[in-house]
Every structure is written in C-alpha cells, then in structure tokens.
Structure 1
C-alpha cells in the first residue's frame, strides 16, 4: 500500500493529493465514485485526519472531487470543467453478476491482513513457509531440466503428473485409478467450482456438512444451488440424514470432507462409512469427497479415503497439494469417471486452456522424488508440535471459557466459547489487539464458535496470540 514519503520536501498533504489524482486519472476511482472517508484514509496512510482534510481541499479546489454533507466525498462527474460524458456505472457492474463476493467476515479478515501484515494469523487455512518443502523444491528445480516447450498441454493435465498421481494415490491413499480418470486442477476450490458449474443446475438441491468449509464458499449460491445441512458430531455425519433430505428435497449430490473435517477435525467413523455407502448406492447419489488433510495424521496412521472402498463408483475424489506441501504450487486433482473428466476438462479448456506446465512438472518430480516421504514425516511432527502449543495456550489462558475436541490430524482446532459472544464484536476486538481468526458462523454454525488454524502462525506466535485473544474475549464478557 502506498504511503507518503516523510523524508520528502514536498508537504504530505500535497503528496496525498497527487496520489489520489493519479488513481482517479487511472480509472481506479471512476467519475461519481465514493472516496474513502477522511478518517479511514488517514488510518490507512498513517497520518492525521487534518492532513487528509487539506489534501481533499486541494482536490476540491481543482474540481476533481466534490463533497456533500451526509453523502461523503466523490470524484466529480465533470472534473476540470469538462462537459458531462456518459461513463459506465462501474459500481453497478461490481455489485452485479451471478458470482457472489466472499462472505463479509472473510472480506474483513483479508482486509485486516492486508492493512496489518504483522497480525498473528490464526485465520488463513494454509501452511506457514517453514512447513513447506522450500529447499526440496529448489533442489529439484536445480537438478532437473524442465521442458523448453511452454505451450498448452492436455486440458486434463500434464501427462507425467497424472501418471505420478496414479502411483501416489495407490501408495498413500489406497485408490486404484488410471491417468485417464484424473483431472489436474489449480486446487480443491477449482474442482468444486467445476462440479457446481458443470454437473449441477440452478435450483438443484445438495447436501453439505454442518459446520462445513463448503458453507463459506459463495460459489454454491452463485451456481443457484439449494444447500441442505448434515449435522456433524464426533463421529461425522449421520448417513440416515441423507435419506431424509433426499425424500424431502430430492438432493442430487452430497459434499463431504470425511477425514479431519474442516473445521471440526472429526473423522467419519467406519460404521457410518458403511451406512453411507448403503444409502448413496440405494439412492444413486454421487458423493464429492474432499480429502485435503488425510495425510496430515500426526501419528502417521492416515485414515483411508471413501474412494479407496467405493463399492458402487459413487465417489468423486478431490485432493490437493495445498495442505501437505505448498498452496503456492496451485496443484489439485480429481478422480472421476472418464465421462466426467472429459466434461470438466472441456470446461477447463474454455476457462484457461489448462494450468501452467512448469508447476505441474515440479509437482510430478516432487511426488516421485526421495524428498516426498521425509517431508510428510516432518510436516506431521511439526503440526503436532504446533497443535500442542495451541492447546496448552488455550488451557492456560481460557480455562473454563472454551471447549474443544483434540484433533488427530489437519490444520485446525474447532472451539466453542463459554459463554458465547457476538462474532463480529469479538473479531474486531481481536484485530485491535493484533490477531485474527475465523468466526464459526462462517461455516454455518451458530455464534459462539471459532476456528483457529495453527499451521499458519509461527510457533513462537501461538502463545502470545492466544493471550491476545483471551484479552479480547474478556473485554466482551466482563
């Protein structure tokens, strides 16, 4: 974010006025658009409000902006005295379209992290840089000569990567498949997007877990789907609830995250897995299995995915490198019947002609290398260490005020607050004290739940971060 140069001989208010004028001339603030308030802009730039008032006065004097009491400050529609022109109403376009914006809480979290990069981040669902295989990837890139061909590759994905995924899925996830049944994507969310856009129609009913990461994704509502919830307890979802939803709403698809579920960390029990297969095979329902956390099992005994024991071919399986290697590689995959893979690959080709070949080559080499298994062992050990630090801090700082079940894998800890407080107020208090987390209502739960991601903050930040959270909570409960 731009900041005024305090070493410059030019007054700060003039620097701000020049900066705003440039942004207006570049079209970032079109004619008629609303500028940030004086107070908000002063906070963003780290200056006094009086300095911003002077900058606005400078721009008003030249006719670039105009202010009205109660309506804020806007870019003039006839700046510099020019004749009125018909310009697009960009605000209306930004608010239109079928694809909905992120939930307000998620936008607030993103804004806070952008404005204050030093926040202790318990919100971002990704690995910290120290957990990623940075040195291993660097070694692979120096050891191997990657192809000089940088054109489009097969829209299903780079063939050697799909071949490597066949071996990976068989060895680590117990899934038997072929490269023709694999679609490489840019991550789990793109897989879900392709499914919701290409395999379902507006008005279709689908079942998702409650709470669920899926609930936080507006893509389901953007596709016009009707969402119905499957409550999650300590053993996962109850399969009989699927039968009830089918009878009432004729659901067409079920979305599940059965291994170390996000956000609760639960694992679907063996008994319920058998019941699930009985129900979906009886009803002819497809199950979308999102399995980003299976290999994070801290003790190494990773629970098998549903797809590994899929008796009737009901499961579309989604995986990703994001939670076991590095989110920046942007590599995910889907295992599905060939007809589905071809349909979605065709859609992918219309969207972007496929992923860049370079990260696909890196991912293929990493999967086949001697680095992969030691990396997983180290990742599990470090995640367990961070989980224990978080639990220790919560028990120390919030004894009697928080309840949780200790997960055996994944990146998250799902907590219920005692007593519950208003989500929005707690988030703002936490941000003010220097930390950020995700309120439970983002995932469909009632107010009073929070999700802490312990993979993102540094180990030395976890204790101080929870102390700050405890201060924020106490400020609202005393």
Structure 2
C-alpha cells in the first residue's frame, strides 16, 4: 500500500480506505484475484485500528468488490465484479469526480429529516412558518396581476417591470440608488452567490467571510476552488482592519458580509464600521458582497442602512431576496452593482437556465407594488418579535445557566453557547431521536456546543415545548 490516510480530513478513515481500494480495483491496479494484505498488517501499515480495516473490507465485500474466505484471506472478486461489468457503469466514480462539492454531513442529515417530515419541532430551518406566509396576499396578486402577453424568454437580467419596481423599492426602503439596468433577478440569494463565485473569481483566489458565518455551510466556495479566510465577529460585527490585514497576508480578492442581523450571531455591523470597511475596500480596489436578507425584519425603531447605500464608487454588490419576508419557494432574489458586472452575471445566468420564469417575477412585481405588502411586513415583524421574546423566556426558564446567548434585534435566529462540553454530532442525533431539529454551530465554523435556534418556524405556543424537548435531549447524553 503506497498511500497515506489523511487523519485531518472530515472523511472517516475507513471511508478513505474504501475509496482508495475501489479506485485501484476500478483502474485495474488490483485485477481480479489479487490478494490483499491481511487486516492486521494493513492496519499496521496505515497506522489505524484493525477494526477500521475490517469495516472497510466488509463494505467492499458487501458491494461485490472483494471476496473473503476463511483460510484464503481477502481477494479482489473474480466472479461478482458488479459495477465493473461491461454493461454497467460505475456511477459512484462520476458522482464523486465532479467539481461541485456536497453539503457537510450534518447539514445533509438535518435536511434529510426536514424532508422526511417526521419531526415535531423544527428549530433548524431558516424560514417562516406557514402561518407567517402572506398566502392570501399572494393569492390576490395571482388573481389580479396581468397575465404576460409575451411568453418568450425574458431579458437575461430579468423581467423589466420587476426590475423597475425593485429600483424604486431599493431607493425608498434602503436609500440604494440602482437603475433597472444595474439589477439582475436571480432564483434566490444563493444563486446570486453562486454566479458571483463562478463568474468573478478563479480557482485559488482568496476571499474573506465573517467567522462564524452561514457561508461555511455552503459548499459553493469549495466547489469554485476558493481559499476562505475568516474575519472574527464581535458584538458590533467584523473589525474592518482585519480585512486590511488579510489583504496584505493572503491577497484576498473579495469580502463577503451579512452585516445586518448576521446569520448565525444576530449581530449588526455598526455604522462606523460599515463606512470603514467600504473605505478600506475602495482603497484596496476589492469588492464587497453584501448579503442582506434580514434588514426588513428589524425589531428596532430605526433601520440600519445597508453598506450599499454609502457606496458611491460601485464597490459593493448588494444581494436581496423575498425569501425571508414573503415566501422562500417564490425564488425571487436580486443583485445590484455596476452595470458591466450585472451584464456579465446576467449572461452567465442565461447560459445556465435561459432566465427565471416570468410567472413568479410577475407575482413578485405585483406583491411589491401592493399597499398590503407593507401591512404584511408590519404584521410579520410583530409576530417574529413575540416569538423571539417567547424563546428568550423559555431559554431562561428551561435551560437557565446551562446556556449563554445574546438577544437579536431582528432576523430569525438566536445563537447560544451551551455551558458544558458536548459533541455536536451526538447532540444532533439525540435531538433527532426526540423529533427535534436545530442547527449546530460547527457548520458555521464554530466549535462544538454552539446552537442556533430559529424562532420563526414554530408557532408561539410550541416554542416552550420545543426548548423543553431540547433540554431533555441535552440531559440524556
């Protein structure tokens, strides 16, 4: 055996052995009948426990790659060669060979449970509960909005009437000046991030993101071959000079920020730092990508102006969406920035999907123009604040000094730190057994023991029961 195991990798050691042996068999390096090293000798060679090798051999035998006979050892299968027959494709090699990375195992596990639906309390999903969607308003928009006469492909940057409406909306709500030609409609904010990483950056480029950040849970940066460096977050957001330092040390080419009610911390980058990070980015000649899903969900009397509203030189790409305020399945997001950049991203999007369907864009246009949309926003903020307060009280009453947390002044989440040592993986599995989901801090780049609870996904009367169920899970470890 010539290879060495990577003991720092997220991939389990037994899986690394499985993958390497499968590759060698697939490529003919170990032809049928090849006798492999005995379990104990291979374990010694790879410096792992013998049971790690046993596990790997068992899995390969179950798939038909190996034959294990008492007294004869382990050999490459000569009769049941399964996926290597001429009439059958080894699809696993294709699936694992692409450049697009899969989500982290814990994220996959939680999403799997969400989709199965066998859960009593969902504190993980970062979206609204059914009763908070403006269902009646959307139904009204669907009935009253004019059916588009032209059903051909829309402009590569999106439905022009919607871009005009967004231009007015951004100016009135956020003091952002953006012409329709400087706006691109996307299928939610995540597609906006994907387009930016694929079109404006190259493999090997260094970027800066907040630490912690929900972006750590997105594999799109790894898929693009980018090098990620963290900007620590305190109670007032990132410290701008940290970005300046990273530029000198790592030559970062872009800064990604979620400055208002940041996910997962709930912090707000203060006005002084917003202006400072913009000044630094301008002086260094690097862009800032501002992801702003929560500005419209503020519990404070005053709203925080986006970094983009201070941008006079076109250094900021601003991302917004209707996912957190209307409906995640509407799939309406947008990017605004310099026209040349927006045109480039629009051209790439057209190559991907020939543009978003005109129907959700028409509905979104009607929604944003409706006088009832502002009423919905006020109602939504009031409901979310009540649920946040209910969760805060439940955390104090049920968990008490077992958890430390800060109180968010907007958004959908509360981040807490458990005051005893726990394993994220074990706690997630225990809560799943108890039919509850939450997001562990490790997927955001934090250590074990941090928890992110979404207070928007459950009705107010269920929140205390959910925290009680979490407490039971924690105590049963």
Q: TM-score range by the shorter chain?
A: 0.7 to 0.9
Count residues with an aligned counterpart.
408
Tell me the CA shift for residue 298 of structure 1.
1.7
Task: Quote the residue 1:244 is aligned against.
Answer: 245
Task: Quote the residue 1:186 is aligned against.
Answer: 187
Give the distance between the partners of 1:90 and 1:412, measured in 2 at CA: 39
Task: Quote the residue 1:279 is aligned against.
Answer: 280
* DSSP-derived class of the 1:255 partner: strand
Does the CA contact (< 8 Å) of 2:122 and 2:438 recur in 1? yes
Task: Quote the residue 2:116 is aligned against.
Answer: 115
CA separation of 1:443/1:69 partners in 2, compared to 1, >3 Å: closer, same or farther?
Answer: closer
Task: Quote the residue 2:433 is aligned against.
Answer: 432
* DSSP-derived class of the 1:149 partner: coil
Task: Quote the residue 2:379 is aligned against.
Answer: 378
Give the distance between the partners of 2:132 and 2:174, measured in 1 at CA: 21
Does the CA contact (< 8 Å) of 2:438 and 2:453 recur in 1? yes
Does the CA contact (< 8 Å) of 2:275 and 2:310 recur in 1? no
Does the CA contact (< 8 Å) of 2:275 and 2:307 recur in 1? no
Give the distance between the partners of 1:458 and 1:302, measured in 2 at CA: 26
Deviations 1:367-398 (A, max 9, x none): 01111100100010011011111111111110
* DSSP-derived class of the 1:253 partner: strand
CA separation of 1:240/1:138 partners in 2, compared to 1, >3 Å: closer, same or farther?
Answer: same
Deviations 1:217-236 (A, max 9, x none): 10001100000000001000
2:87 is the alignment partner of 1:86: yes
2:262 is the alignment partner of 1:264: no
Tell me the CA shift for residue 148 of structure 1.
4.2
Does the CA contact (< 8 Å) of 2:387 and 2:460 recur in 1? yes
Q: Which deviates further from its counterpart, 354-363 or 83-92?
A: 83-92
Task: Quote the residue 1:223 is aligned against.
Answer: 224
CA separation of 1:148/1:119 partners in 2, compared to 1, >3 Å: closer, same or farther?
Answer: farther
Give the distance between the partners of 1:155 and 1:300, measured in 2 at CA: 38
CA separation of 1:197/1:87 partners in 2, compared to 1, >3 Å: closer, same or farther?
Answer: same
CA separation of 1:91/1:301 partners in 2, compared to 1, >3 Å: closer, same or farther?
Answer: same
Give the distance between the partners of 1:423 and 1:202, measured in 2 at CA: 31
CA separation of 1:441/1:84 partners in 2, compared to 1, >3 Å: closer, same or farther?
Answer: closer
Give the distance between the partners of 1:84 and 1:398, measured in 2 at CA: 57
Deviations 1:354-376 (A, max 9, x none): 00000000000110111110010
Deviations 1:247-297 (A, max 9, x none): 001000000000000110100012212221221121111000000000100
Q: Which deviates further from its counterpart, 458-467 or 150-159?
A: 458-467
* DSSP-derived class of the 1:451 partner: strand
Give the distance between the partners of 1:72 and 1:293, measured in 2 at CA: 51
Matches within 5 A, 1:76-475: 85-475=86-476
Matches within 5 A, 1:18-97: 85-97=86-98
Task: Quote the residue 1:36 is aligned against.
Answer: none
* DSSP-derived class of the 2:452 partner: strand
Does the CA contact (< 8 Å) of 1:204 and 1:225 recur in 2? yes
TM-score (structure 1 length as normaliser): 0.82
Deviations 1:150-199 (A, max 9, x none): 32100100000000001110111111110000000011100000000000
Give the distance between the partners of 1:321 and 1:72, measured in 2 at CA: 50
Deviations 1:420-440 (A, max 9, x none): 311001111111111001100
- Give structure 2 stretches of 5+ with no counterpart: 1-56, 66-76
Tell me the CA shift for residue 300 of structure 1.
4.8
Q: Which deviates further from its counterpart, 132-141 or 451-460?
A: 451-460
Give the distance between the partners of 2:85 and 2:453, measured in 1 at CA: 52
Q: Which deviates further from its counterpart, 415-424 or 178-187?
A: 415-424
RMSD (CA atoms): 2.1
Give the distance between the partners of 1:202 and 1:71, measured in 2 at CA: 34
Does the CA contact (< 8 Å) of 1:299 and 1:380 recur in 2? no
* DSSP-derived class of the 1:374 partner: helix
Tell me the CA shift for residue 242 of structure 1.
0.5
Does the CA contact (< 8 Å) of 2:209 and 2:256 recur in 1? yes
Does the CA contact (< 8 Å) of 2:118 and 2:435 recur in 1? no
* DSSP-derived class of the 1:227 partner: strand
Give the distance between the partners of 1:107 and 1:119, measured in 2 at CA: 19
Give the distance between the partners of 1:250 and 1:69, measured in 2 at CA: 47
Tell me the CA shift for residue 346 of structure 1.
0.5
Does the CA contact (< 8 Å) of 1:387 and 1:454 recur in 2? yes
Give the distance between the partners of 1:187 and 1:123, measured in 2 at CA: 19
Give the distance between the partners of 1:361 and 1:440, measured in 2 at CA: 38
Tell me the CA shift for residue 71 of structure 1.
5.1
